[in-house]
Amino acid sequence: MRLKLQVNGGTREVEAREHESLLTVLREQLGLVGSKDACEQGECGSCSVLVDGELVCSCLVLAGAASGRDIRTVESLGTADAPHPVQQAFVDAGAVQCGFCTPGFVISTVALLRANPEPSDAEIKEALAGNLCRCTGYGKILEAVHRVAGSRM
Amino acid sequence: MSVAAPPRLRGLVGESTPRSDAPPKTQGAYLYASDLARDGMLHGATVRSAHARARITRIDTAAARAMPGVRVVLTAADLPTREKFGLMKLDQPVLADGVVRYVGEPVAILAADDAEQARLAAKAVTVTYEPQPAITDPVAALQAGAPRLHDDGNVIEDVRVVHGDPAAKADVVVEGEYEIGMQDQAALGPEAGLATSDPDGGVTLHIATQWLHEDLRQISDCLGLPRSKVRLVLGGVGGAFGAREDVTLQIHCCLLALAAKKPVRMVYGREESFYGHVHRHPARLWYAHGATRDGTLVFVRATIVLDGGGYASSSPAVVANAACFGAGPYRVPNAQIHAVGAYTNNPPTGAMRGFGAVQSCFAYEAQMDKLATALGLSPVALRVKNALRDGDRIITDQPVEGSEPVAEIVRRCAALPQPAAAARDDPVAMPGGVGNITRGEGVRRGTGLAAGFKNVCYSHAFDDFSTARVRLVRERGEAVAYVLTAAAEVGQGIVLVCEQIARTALGVQQVVVETPNTSIDSAGSSSASRQTWMTGGAVLAACTEVKTELAQRAAARGRRLSEIDVADLLDEPIERTVKHRHRPTEPRNPTTQNDGHVAFLFAAHRATVDVDVETGLVKVVQVATTQDVGRAINPVAVVGQLEGGIAQGLGLAVMEELQLRDGQVRNASFTDYLLPTMLDMPPVVCDLVEHPHPDAPYGAKGVGEPPTISSTPAIVAAIRAATGRELNRVPVRPDDIVFGTVARSGWRLSPGEDPRRATRA
């Protein structure tokens, strides 16, 4: 089926199968590979994107269901020259090792801080418990979120 | 020429400078192997065995070949050679040839225009099996009369350590039987590669791996191509932890690209990843410890059986490690350890962080606590009393020299700040967490401590080296150092280590670490905690040679190097390539009494847990660790390794286990294989001990594995302290806590004896 997707502020037309996930279309057709595929069942958060401002696992959203909605991926957040404050905080805190989970954590952190600009430790842990990281043990990620919390989003 | 004071360099050895690969990783711009694409590329898929042990009577690929988009289908009959592959034993066929030995063994491969067509075609390949009874108990596999799973029998490796008088008598003896479940590395990045056929008949593979040159050897032999026609480039690696040391899809992807004459990408899904890579060895261990009344260790005797699964992988070295480090970081004058790795029809096992040292540490640390109780000593006092000191010999008769602060790390770890008392008013902070299942009535707190050790670098006469090329040039008036090695950045931060060492050694701010590939000689594997020592050492050696040339160029101008801007000396670039080796080690002898290892890494962990004894749920409240690191090249990165390694140790202690039935993995997903989340991980208190090792670059010993070795036994010791339960297996399950379930192998043997003499209990 032919789909019109609003991705990162632009309109993209793609041909997709009815059962294809938003993640597959983002990665394989639109070349937006910042959203990662690590579990295909919504357990790891590596594919997190914002749809109409809501945090979702793009592997669990049909591409067709995202049509007409405002889709924001990690690629929309910042650039090499002008990183988003959350991205900068992850770099500065040493929260990145292999980095495969990082785009998902960055998006989830952006969503958290929009809803709750100054979260407590417990609130951060609960909000980010849907994102798996196998490298860091989460300590530096927690530190990164605290670093950026309260700064302008 | 006037000389200004040189600008202060940022990011030298010892500074917590941010990683240069972090910004693109946060932006989604860093390309992992699974992100790579080429115009017109095909997508590969694998047909896998549904049986743990069976003969293949027929493979019918006709239906798959006729499906839309399918370009190539290959079975064993289509392979260019009959070579087998494997890290240490060439025992694994590229595609199953007549028999399958585990569930998930590759039987056929194919490539199609898109990934879905490939997946559907794989389902359309019909394989007819004649199933045979699977051998899934490793002790049973070792008994006389067990069916032979490989032509040379079921023993992959048999290691004996005999030290002093193994029959020595002691005042106090404690015994125990222990069991370790099968843990998965569960790197977030799936197995992935992209192969293209080259005009000269060769192939180029972009691959997520731990060791490019070991892949190269196995690929070229199985393809029947000279090494010069197989080119590897590191694709971005989403974590490894041992699982990428073995060949998974490397040969398959190249075969498909060569057959199709088109680029082929293969990416495993999560379920396939659980079938596709090796896991941590499950283990059964029988231990006896003897000591004098005053708490001086007299002997350790142990039998260790490791389940190697269907193929050998790195089992021989894992077995050797379990044996060599099987008495812990203590002075043990008499020892007998018999460790055997067995073929079974379970999934193959190989490298995972800690590599054999994890399994025996769980057992010997439980034994040390048992012994402390029997002697009326504190666990800390018993460990400190018996801690290895400079010049002491471990049970392989090798002296520990250079840096071995065992008593210091145990004492310091025990004294680190304790966590606050349990917050009874916050159910989320209690066992069960957001499940909100207790108000604290049945919650008990416990604290436990454990210490462990293992080797850094490869052991037992392996020709262990790394190669570095440093090229110093002038660009826009400034000196820039380009560093090329084949060392795989898998997340651990070797890129950062190379940058900081080159910057420090050369006194040049701008350092660019190039993408690892096989145009340069091997760096060895990103394993055994060895890359800082080996590739860091190679970069330092190459920089030292470059610096010598700089000094000569300065002298030719009548100046000293310190008086001159390096960029002024670079009218011609300077390039040096150095192959760096550690001091030679000795091969293993029949009693494993020799200098088999380069050096040792030590750590201690103290865990505090809250346990709900009514539900059997555990909340790890805090882990404190003191680790001997030699020297921290980048302290924040080192702490990241410690915290991440502890998370994996916590996983093995209370969460992570591949559940097997008849050789079939029952929980091959992240829904059913539970990894620690941010809610499961407690605060970690890290204390780094820095006694530079004289043989290591800047004294830095390597840090990756110790966090995963003694964190698990520390957490289980804490649960024992809270509950009084025996808890002789990991992961600890709720029913072990509630009902006091004790794991029994069903085999009886005397610790230290040959497991082939085991009798049914």
pLDDT in tens, B307-342: 999 999 999 999 999 999 999 999 999 999 999 999
Tokens representing residue B64 in the block: 């798959």
Instruction: Express each pLDDT in B575-596 by its tens digit.
Output: 999 999 999 999 999 999 999 9
Of the partner residues A99, A122, A133, the one whose CB lies closest to the CB of residue B30: A99
- Residue B418, CB half-sphere, CA atoms under 13 Å: how many? 12
Residue of A nearest to B272 (CA): A39
Give the pLDDT band of residue B284 (cuts 50, 70, 90): very high
Check CB contact under 8 Å for B21 and A96. Answer: yes
Give the pLDDT confidence score for residue A11 in this predicted structure.
Answer: 97
Give the pLDDT confidence score for residue B191 in this predicted structure.
Answer: 98
Share of chain B above pLDDT 90, in %: 96
Give the pLDDT confidence score for residue B423 in this predicted structure.
Answer: 76
Q: pTM of this prediction? A: 0.97
Share of chain B above pLDDT 70, in %: 99
**Stretch among A30-34, A79-83, B15-19, B519-523 having the lowest mean pLDDT:** A79-83
Check CB contact under 8 Å for B189 and A100. Answer: yes
Give the pLDDT confidence score for residue B7 in this predicted structure.
Answer: 67
Q: Would you say residue B4 has pLDDT above 80?
A: no
With contacts defined as CB-CB under 8 Å, which chain A residues touch B243?
none
Q: How far is A131 from chain B (nearest CA, A)?
A: 7
Please check whether residue B536 is in contact with residue B574, taking contact to mean a CB–CB distance below 8 angstroms. Answer: no
- Helices marked H in B419-493 — which ranges? none
Check CB contact under 8 Å for A142 and B678. Answer: yes
- Chain A 11-70, residues with CB within 8 Å of chain B CB atoms: 17, 27-28, 31-41, 43-44, 46
B429 or A33, which is more confident? Answer: A33
Q: What is the mean pLDDT of residues B372-384?
A: 98
Give the pLDDT confidence score for residue B1 in this predicted structure.
Answer: 43
AA letter at B606: R
Instruction: Express each pLDDT in A87-123 by its tens digit.
Output: 999 999 999 999 999 999 999 999 999 999 999 999 9
Instruction: Express each pLDDT in B471-481 by its tens digit.
Output: 999 999 999 99
Q: How far is A68 from chain B (nearest CA, A)?
A: 24
Contacts of B319 (CB under 8 A, 6+ apart): B156, B157, B158, B159, B304, B306, B339, B340, B341, B356
Q: Would you say residue B664 has pLDDT above 70?
A: yes
Could you give the CA distance from residue B368 to residue B377 in angstroms, rounded to a whole number? Answer: 10
Check CB contact under 8 Å for B28 and A138. Answer: no
Q: What is the mean pLDDT of residues B562-585?
A: 96
Q: What is the mean pLDDT of residues B487-514?
A: 98
Which is it for strands B729-730 and B172-180: parallel, antiparallel or unpaired?
parallel
Q: How far is B637 from chain A (nearest CA, A)?
A: 7
Q: How far is A70 from chain B (nearest CA, A)?
A: 19
What does residue B204 show for φ and ψ, rounded to 5 degrees? Answer: -115, 130
Of the partner residues B238, B642, B648, the one whose CB lies closest to the CB of residue A98: B238
Check CB contact under 8 Å for B187 and A126. Answer: no
Check CB contact under 8 Å for A94 and B18. Answer: yes
Mutate to test the interface with B, among A21, A24, A41, A100 (most CBs of B within 10 A): A100
With contacts defined as CB-CB under 8 Å, which chain B residues touch A34?
27-29
What does residue B464 show for φ and ψ, rounded to 5 degrees? Answer: -95, 115
Whole-number average pLDDT of chain A: 96
Of the partner residues A83, A91, A137, the one whose CB lies closest to the CB of residue B647: A137
Check CB contact under 8 Å for B636 and A94. Answer: yes
- Of B245, B213, B247, give the one whose Cα is nearest residue B227: B213
Tokens representing residue B95 in the block: 């595609």
Length of chain B: 761
- Report helix, strand and coil shares of chain B as percent, to nearest 5: 30, 25, 45
Q: What is the mean pLDDT of residues B612-622?
A: 97
Could you give the CA distance from residue B409 to residue B416 in angstroms, rounded to a whole number? Answer: 11
- B577 sits in the region (left: phi over 0; alpha: psi -120 to 50; else beta) called beta
Please check whether residue B608 is in contact with residue B447, taking contact to mean a CB–CB distance below 8 angstroms. Answer: yes
Burial of residue B88 (CB within 10 Å: 0-12, 13-18, 19+) is middle
CA angle B146, B150, B153 (to 5 degrees): 50
Q: How far is B25 from chain A (nearest CA, A)?
A: 5
What does residue B494 show for φ and ψ, rounded to 5 degrees? Answer: -65, -25
Tokens representing residue B623 in the block: 């882990």
Check CB contact under 8 Å for A38 and B189. Answer: yes
With contacts defined as CB-CB under 8 Å, which chain A residues touch B21?
96, 99
B618 or B428, which is more confident? Answer: B618
CB contact, 8 Å: A98 with chain B?
yes
Mutate to test the interface with A, among B10, B15, B17, B27 (most CBs of A within 10 A): B27
Instruction: Express each pLDDT in A45-70 by its tens digit.
Output: 999 999 999 999 999 999 999 999 99
Check CB contact under 8 Å for A32 and B239. Answer: no
Of the partner residues A39, A78, A141, the one whose CB lies closest to the CB of residue B270: A39
Give the pLDDT confidence score for residue B604 in this predicted structure.
Answer: 98
Of the partner residues A33, A44, A131, the one whose CB lies closest to the CB of residue B35: A33
Of the partner residues B26, B186, B240, the one whose CB lies closest to the CB of residue A102: B26
Burial track B433-459 (b if 16+ CB lie within 10 A, e otherwise) = beeeebebebbbbbbbbbbbbbbbbbb
Q: Would you say residue B39 has pLDDT above 80?
A: yes
What does residue B681 show for φ and ψ, rounded to 5 degrees? Answer: -85, 125
- Count the neighbouring beta carbons within 10 Å of the beta carbon of residue A146: 16
Instruction: Express each pLDDT in B461-474 by its tens digit.
Output: 999 999 999 999 99
- Count the neighbouring beta carbons within 10 Å of the beta carbon of residue B635: 17
Give the pLDDT band of residue B434 (cuts 50, 70, 90): confident
In DSSP notation, chain A reads: -EEEEEETTEEEEEE--TT-BHHHIIIIIS--TTS--SSSSSSS-TTEEEETTEEEEGGGSBTGGGTTSEEE-GGGT--SSS--HHHHHHHHHT--SS-SSHHHHHHHHHHHHHH-SS--HHHHHHHHTTS--SSSTTHHHHHHHHHHTTS--
How far is residue B577 from each of residues B522, B538, B541, measured CA to CA in Å?
Answer: 12, 9, 9
Give the pLDDT confidence score for residue A151 in this predicted structure.
Answer: 57
- Chain A 68-87, residues with CB within 8 Å of chain B CB atoms: 73-75, 77-80, 83, 86-87
Q: Count of A–B CB contacts within 8 Å?
A: 193
Check CB contact under 8 Å for B669 and A41. Answer: yes
Q: What is the mean pLDDT of residues B89-108?
A: 98
Q: What is the mean pLDDT of residues B117-128?
A: 98
With contacts defined as CB-CB under 8 Å, which chain B residues touch A74?
26-28
Contacts of B383 (CB under 8 A, 6+ apart): B330, B368, B406, B407, B410, B449, B451
Check CB contact under 8 Å for A137 and B270. Answer: no
Could you give the CA distance from residue B659 to residue B183 in angstroms, rounded to a whole number? Answer: 9
AA letter at B444: R
Q: Would you say residue B753 has pLDDT above 90?
A: yes
Give the pLDDT confidence score for residue B436 in this predicted structure.
Answer: 83
With contacts defined as CB-CB under 8 Å, which chain B residues touch A99?
21-22, 25-26, 30, 236, 238, 491
With contacts defined as CB-CB under 8 Å, which chain B residues touch A32?
28
AA letter at B515: T
Strands (E), B208-282: 230-234, 264-267
Give the pLDDT confidence score for residue B6 in this predicted structure.
Answer: 58
Of the partner residues B26, B30, B643, the one whose CB lies closest to the CB of residue A139: B643
Q: How far is A28 from chain B (nearest CA, A)?
A: 9
At B139 the three-state DSSP class reads helix
CA angle B299, B164, B282 (to 5 degrees): 55
With contacts defined as CB-CB under 8 Å, which chain A residues touch B39?
none
Check CB contact under 8 Å for A103 and B26. Answer: yes
Q: How far is B43 from chain A (nearest CA, A)?
A: 12
Q: Which helix (H) or strand (E) holds B306?
A: strand B297-309
Please check whether residue B274 is in contact with residue B658, taking contact to mean a CB–CB distance below 8 angstroms. Answer: yes
Could you give the CA distance from residue B489 to residue B527 in angstroms, rounded to a whole number? Answer: 11
Residue of B nearest to A77 (CA): B27
Q: Would you say residue B379 has pLDDT above 60?
A: yes
AA letter at B181: G
Could you give the CA distance from residue B118 to residue B112 in angstroms, rounded to a whole number? Answer: 5
Give the pLDDT band of residue B5 (cuts 50, 70, 90): low
Please check whether residue B645 is in contact with residue B381, taking contact to mean a CB–CB distance below 8 angstroms. Answer: no
At B475 the three-state DSSP class reads strand
Q: What is the mean pLDDT of residues B692-711?
A: 96
Which residue, chain included where needed, has tokens 């596999």?
A: B141
- Of B314, B320, B326, give the one whose Cα is nearest residue B366: B326
- Helices marked H in B616-690 — which ranges? 635-654
Which residue, chain included where needed, has tokens 């290895």?
A: B388
Residue of B nearest to A19 (CA): B116
Give the pLDDT confidence score for residue A21 in this predicted structure.
Answer: 98
Give the pLDDT confidence score for residue B276 in this predicted structure.
Answer: 97
Q: How far is A108 from chain B (nearest CA, A)?
A: 12
Could you give the CA distance from residue B23 to residue B661 in angstroms, rounded to a whole number? Answer: 44
Give the pLDDT band of residue B746 (cuts 50, 70, 90): very high
Please check whether residue B100 is in contact with residue B79, taking contact to mean a CB–CB distance below 8 angstroms. Answer: no
How far is residue A75 from each of residues A85, A128, B363, measured CA to CA in Å?
Answer: 14, 20, 48
What does residue A48 show for φ and ψ, rounded to 5 degrees? Answer: -60, 135
Check CB contact under 8 Å for A94 and B640. Answer: yes
ipTM surpassing 0.85: yes
Q: How far is B712 from chain A (nearest CA, A)?
A: 14
Tell me which DSSP letter residue B683 carries.
P
Whole-number average pLDDT of chain B: 97
Check CB contact under 8 Å for B27 and A46. Answer: no
Q: Which helix (H) or strand (E) holds B502?
A: helix B494-506
